[in-house]
Amino acid sequence: MAGEQTMGNVQAIRKPAESPEPFIQLSDVGLRYGESGEGVEALRGLSLEIAKGEFTAVVGPSGCGKSTLMRLISGLTPSSAGGVLIDGKRVDRPLKTVGMAFQNSALLPWRTALENVLLPLEVVQPHRRDFRRNKARHAEQARAMLAKVGLNGAEGLYGWELSGGMQQRVSLCRALIHEPEILLLDEPFGALDAFTREELWDTLQQLWLERRFTALLVTHDLPEAVYLADSVHVISERPGHVVHTSHIDLPRPRTPEICFTPRFTEYIHELRSHIQRKTPAIAGASQ
């Protein structure tokens, strides 16, 4: 199928064709934490549309509600106002068609890499229903995915035997093993060194080019957002709402060399100029 090609023969793939209806749609969404509407207002009037198969990134200052946005899309948290639609259906409960990866890989320490990858198939319906009967086939599928991200031979290692980058590769495999329609990524590479982080950009890009799931990345790293995404949305300070969107018109597959091009740098400056930060008052400063 078009768009489901390996890195070796994908050339100049750009953002997916426009769909008649957005796959993910948030309309005038608001969220206030706390009882009786008296808690912190995390989001207000946030509207966002993501096409099916699009790779989208969200950036903004700390505390602007980026992670809250992901909880709304996954159905883990209901909105206080507005609506969240996935494929035209209102989100009113946790979704089974979502994979998630976080800054902390959260591997279960008593399970091997292979067993960690298989976990969603053991607990998520409809896979759980026939997991034992098809365990050998699922295990082979998990081994193939681990090999694809460079972990061939690491299937029997436990989390404490893996480097940070290896743990995150396992986490990505676990998030995708049940073939979710949506992959949510919450600062997945934030705790890694720069070289490992850039290696994992390419790993994630390869997985997306092959599978074309709909991806939403939350990150503080502007180069990461531009390198990976078709579009990057800037969220304001709390209560968060979209203040700017950059559509990233760079050819795929993207390689590290693209980070040094003038166009890449222009996108970084464009996004940075729209990220708002409040400067705290300094006690005793002259007025």
Q: What is the pLDDT of residues 65-96, one digit of tens each?
A: 888 999 999 999 999 899 999 999 999 888 88
User: How far is it, in rounded angstroms, from Cα 287 to Cα 273?
Assistant: 27
Question: How does strand 24-32 pair with strand 81-86?
Answer: antiparallel
pLDDT score at 33: 83
Say what the pLDDT of residue 64 is: 85
Looking at residue 127, its pLDDT comes to: 72
Q: Per-residue pLDDT tens for 187-213?
A: 999 889 999 999 999 999 999 999 999
Q: Please give the residue that has the higher pLDDT: either 277 or 248.
A: 248
**Per-residue confidence (pLDDT) for residue 65, from 0 to 100:** 87
Residue 140: its H or E element: helix 135-148
Between 133-147, 207-221, 224-238, 267-281, the lowest mean confidence (pLDDT) is in 267-281
Residue 260 · residue 84 · CB < 8 Å: no
CA atoms within 13 A on the CB side of 84: 23
**222 and 215 Cβ atoms separated by less than 8 Å:** no
283 has pLDDT over 90: no
In order of 35, 241, 278, the CA distances from 81 in angstroms are 15, 13, 26
Q: Where is pLDDT greater, at 106 or 8?
A: 106
Look at residue 35 in the predicted model and tell me its pLDDT: 63
DSSP string, 22-71: -SEEEEEEEEE-SGGG-S-EEEEEEEEEE-TT-EEEEE-STTSSHHHHHH
Burial 4-16 (b: 16+ CB within 10 A, else e): eeeeeebeebebb
Record the tokens describing residue 223, joined without a space: 């180069």
Q: Could you tell me the two tokens for 126?
A: 């409809």
pLDDT digits (tens, 9 = 90+) for 217-266: 999 999 999 999 999 999 999 899 999 999 999 999 999 999 999 999 99
Percent residues over pLDDT 70 in the chain: 87
140 backbone dihedrals φ, ψ, rounded to 5°: -65, -40
**Nearest of 139, 132, 134 to residue 113 by alpha carbon:** 139
Residue 282's pLDDT band, with cuts at 50, 70 and 90, is very low
Q: Which of 244, 204, 229 is nearest to 64 (CA)?
A: 244
| 44 φ, ψ (degrees, to nearest 5) | -150, 120
